[in-house]
Each structure stands twice: as structure tokens, then as C-alpha cells.
Amino acid sequence: MGLQDNEAERKERLPHLLEASLGCAHVLQRAHPTIAHGRGDVNSTLQLLSSAATVLVLAELEAPGNIGKVLGQMPKEAASVQLDIFAHLLYSSLSLNLGRDRSNIAALFPIAARATALSLFGAGDLLTVHDPNGDGAHLASIVFIVARLVLLSGIPQAEEEIASFETLELFWRRVWPEWERVLALSLRETCINSPLRAVLHSVLLDMVIFVGSMRPTLLIEPAGAIVRGLRSLEEWQSSTGINNSSSKLPKAIKAIETAQLSYGADTDRPKRATTIKQVWNDMLATEKIVSLRAEAEREREKQKHAYKTLARGV
């Protein structure tokens, strides 16, 4: 009787989820009136985005393919916008008991991998120019958020080990070449954006350390490229005397060494709840930056309008 009631509830809930999902998609795309202007409390904004993502995830479980329908224009958005949407979808999925339905979320990983690689590519290009708006740092931040969420959402409590690993491996196979490229660009003489270089070094090392702590076997295939990059970084630090990420470099090297020796052996994973809280805090910090940039843009528009009005008066 309980199962029948459960099924009846799901059928009754589905139309409401589907009806709400389009509006929730607009919220995640920041096109909905309640969020489009970027005003208001940052915590409330993040909660609203998270709630909208939860509705979309629930609707996807009941009607597979719904996310693709309501977010059909997402692949045309900038990679950073795509990652922002993925971050909220993946984070919301962690709080739901998805079980085998987690494969519906994992189906998004190839698109997330493409957006992650493109965002790293964009951050790398900004190393050769001055970046007063901090676009490169923003890209690096959202990349690390999504990278962690992909690993967390790809490791359910009772995981189907082979399918889970293959899905994650495909994601990281797309990301590692850009990881290597960005690190190489940051060490060239053409790099004039020192603040961004420091941020990227920290994030790139954090990625290796985090993957090594969660799934060390994912480091085995790209180990050669990662080791080359870490050695180059070590030599660069020795020759320049710049050690912004000196404490993280030994940890990243150890993560690679451990992965090559373990061949899939279990490691001490960081506590899931603690990691998820850290990701939420990073999402909050990123949202604060988005809010500040939106406020700065509004102020610039006000000044432009004031100048035009003054010019007409003259």
C-alpha cells in the first residue's frame, strides 16, 4: 500500500514540477525578474538559485530529458555561465537521495567537461593581459567549484564503481590537457598578469590534491603530463623566488606519487559533509563577487546616463 501511495504522489507531483521547471531554468540563467537585476542579499540569492536547481533535478528524475528541454539554450551561453548553472544543479543533487537515478545527473558531465575546459582556456588567455575586472580569477574559482562537485556527485554513498569511474574519467580526460596548457602559459615570459598567475597556480594544484584525495586512480592516466607541469612549476619557483603556492606543491607531488603506487587502493577521503560545506562557502564567495560586479556595472551605467544628460543640457 505504501508503494502505491508513493507512486500516486509522484504522478501527482510531476505536472507541478514540470510547470515550475521552466521558471526555475530562467532563475538559474539569471533571466527571471526575481534575480535578473542582481540586487538583494547574497545568501538569499544563493538559496533561491539552489532551490531552483533542486526543482530541476527532481523534475529530471521524474521526466528524464526535462533539463535538456528547459535549458536548451544553455550550450550557447558563455562557458562561465554554463558552469554557474552546473554548479547549482550538481550541488542540489548532493542533498537528494538519488540512488541509481544519479546517472541522470552524470549524463550532464560531458557538457560540464566542455564548459570547464573552455573556462580554463579563457583564464589562460587572460594571463597575457591586464585583467582589472578579475574575470580570470572568477573563471578559476568556478572551475574548481564544479570540478569538486563533479567528483562528489560522481561518488554516491553506494556507488556502482565501474560506471561511476568511467563517467568521471571522461570528464577529467577533457580537463587535464587544459590544466597542462594553462600551467605552461603561466610560466612563460609573456605572462604579465601576476595576480591571476598566483590564483591559477593555487587552483591548479588544488585540483590535483583534491582528485588525489577523492579518486587517486583518476591521476594515473594523466600522471605524465601532470608530473611535467609540477616539475616545471618547481623549477620556475626556484629560479624566480616566487613561492605563492609553495605549501601546495609538495602535496600535489605526493598525490601523484600516491596514485601511481596505490593503483586504486582506498585512501583517506576528506569528510563529505565538510567538503560540501567548503564548496558552498566558495559558491557564496563567488556570488558576492558577482553581486559586486553587477553593482559596479549599474554604477557605470548611471554615470554614463548622467554624462549624456549633462551633455544634452550644454
DSSP conformation letters of 97-131:
--GGGHHHHHTTHHHHHHHHHHHHHHHHHGGGS--
Report angle CA 51, 47, 98 to the nearest 5 degrees. 40
pLDDT recorded at residue 266: 45
pLDDT recorded at residue 233: 96
Phi, then psi, of 123 in degrees rounded to 5: -65, -40
User: Closest Cα partner for 186 from 199, 175, 173, 177?
Assistant: 199
**Lowest pLDDT segment from 34-38, 105-109, 257-261:** 34-38
pLDDT recorded at residue 67: 87
Confidence of residue 114 (pLDDT cuts 50, 70, 90): very high
Count of helices and strands (H, E) across the chain: 12, 0
Helix/strand/coil for 266 = coil
- pLDDT at residue 62 tops 70: yes
Query: Is-contact 154 93, C-beta < 8 A?
Result: no
Mean pLDDT of the chain: 84
Average the pLDDT over 117-123 and give the result. 96
Q: Comparing 164 with 44, which gets the higher pLDDT?
A: 44
Confidence of residue 2 (pLDDT cuts 50, 70, 90): very low
Q: What is the DSSP letter of 216?
A: G
User: The C-alpha cell of 92 is what?
Assistant: 542540489
pLDDT recorded at residue 303: 74
Helix/strand/coil for 72 = coil
Q: How many CB atoms lie within 10 A of CB 245?
A: 21
User: The C-alpha cell of 161 is what?
Assistant: 564503481
**Lowest pLDDT segment from 23-27, 180-184, 288-292, 294-298:** 294-298
Share of the chain above pLDDT 70, in %: 82
User: Closest Cα partner for 171 from 225, 208, 117?
Assistant: 117
- pLDDT at residue 314 tops 60: no
**Lowest pLDDT segment from 136-145, 168-177, 237-246, 267-276:** 267-276
Average the pLDDT over 71-90 and give the result. 90
pLDDT digits (tens, 9 = 90+) for 180-201: 999 999 999 999 999 999 999 9
Helix/strand/coil for 159 = coil
- pLDDT at residue 12 tops 80: no
pLDDT recorded at residue 305: 66
- pLDDT at residue 3 tops 50: no
Confidence of residue 5 (pLDDT cuts 50, 70, 90): very low
- pLDDT at residue 4 tops 60: no
- pLDDT at residue 156 tops 60: no
pLDDT recorded at residue 306: 67
Distance CA 69, CA 72 (A): 5
